[in-house]
Amino acid sequence: MRLNNIALVAALVFGITSCSEAQQKASKPNPYYTHKGSSKMNLPDSEWKKVLPENTYNILRNKQTEAPGTGQYLHNDAAGTYYCAACGNPLFKSDGKFESGCGWPSFYQPFNDSSIITSVDKSHGMVRTEIMCGRCHGHIGHVFDDGPAPTGQRYCTNGGALHFEGAVKK
């Protein structure tokens, strides 16, 4: 009986410790997230893994895609700016967001010319244009030529790659 109690206490302590460590990682500020400066970042993925939540890390660093219709910003209509969730680089303004029906947050233009960089993506038997953060090169999503005027572009993004900050009301 005593051995079972020790095992139970050990399991509880381990569970509490694991939960506590996960909470600390989630609440610990990311030292690389800033809206100041625009210098390029070249951190190893091992460093990003230490400071980013698992879902954000998997999207930005491992180029994973969240399931359609599940992204936290899909139906966000508030005024503000969308930043890279890893480094804080401004990516999109809310006035460039539109409902595309694709299941992911969509924008018709980036925040500025250096916000987004692109690369040819030949994964999954397709040829697409990948969009990445212009500062940290994290994977944001893809851009397609089926968006609205004035650009005709649809920047299809993963909500987990974004951080939204609402506009300050005066």
Q: What is the DSSP string of the chain?
A: -HHHHHHHHHHHHHHHHHHHHHHHHHHS--TT--SS--------HHHHHHHS-HHHHHHHHH---PPTT--TTTT---SEEEEETTT--EEEEGGGEE--SSSS-EESS-SSTTTEEEEEE-GGG--EEEEEETTT--EEEEEES---TTT--EEEE-GGGEEEEEPPP-
| CATH number for the domain whose boundaries are 34-166 | 2.170.150.20
Q: pLDDT 10s digit of each residue in the chain, 170 long? A: 444 444 433 333 334 333 433 444 445 679 999 988 778 988 999 999 999 999 999 999 999 999 999 989 999 999 999 999 999 999 999 999 999 999 999 999 999 999 999 999 999 999 999 999 999 999 999 999 999 999 999 999 999 999 999 987 76
Domain limits, the chain = 1-30, 34-166
102 as an active site residue: the answer is no
Residue of 84, 87, 133, 156 with catalytic role: 156
